[in-house]
Structures are given as structure tokens and as C-alpha cells.
Structure 1
Amino acid sequence: MRNERFWRTRAENGPPVLSGATPAEALAWTLRERAFVRRFREVFEAALE
């Protein structure tokens, strides 16, 4: 299932600090994470309406 693969990928990629990423990779990860949280919040709030 696509959703299971999505969550597994997020868990495997993990926080950049733990994986020894370069600063550029850490920044990219942070921006993706913020975008995910923003999108999740939009969907969640829409579901509550």
C-alpha cells in the first residue's frame, strides 16, 4: 500500500542529525518535513470542519 511505503520511507530517512547528513541534506530534509507538517495540518483541519 502506498501509505505504508510512505511512512516506512520517512522512518528510514530519519532526522539528518542522526544519519550524519551534510548541512545541505539536513536543510532539504527540514524543508520537506515542514512542508509535510503544513500539508498534514491543512488536511486535518479540513477533516474537522
Structure 2
Amino acid sequence: CCKECSGHFVVNSLDLNNEYVCGLCHMPSRAGKTKKARELDNAASIAA
């Protein structure tokens, strides 16, 4: 289970999961940084 939210998730029994933190509590660094979002940011900065 996640050490932050105590959520129960399916993990491999051979993995080291004592300090497991789920993807909802610890978002990946690239989450939400899609090509479309980058294009919208560029368009907004040009318009400003």
C-alpha cells in the first residue's frame, strides 16, 4: 500500500515496495507536459 495515502495497489511481490508511493501522491515529472499544452503556452506567451 502507498505510504502517503494508504491506498492499496497491485504490486509485484518481488519488488521493493516498503517505501512505495503511488502515482497520485507522487506525480511523474512529465505529467501534463504534452505537445499540445506546450503549443498553447507558446501561443499565450506570444499573444501577451
TM-score by length of 1: 0.33
Q: Name which structure has the greater RCO, CA cutoff 8 Å, separation 6+.
A: 2
Structure of higher CA gyration radius: 2
TM-score by length of 2: 0.33
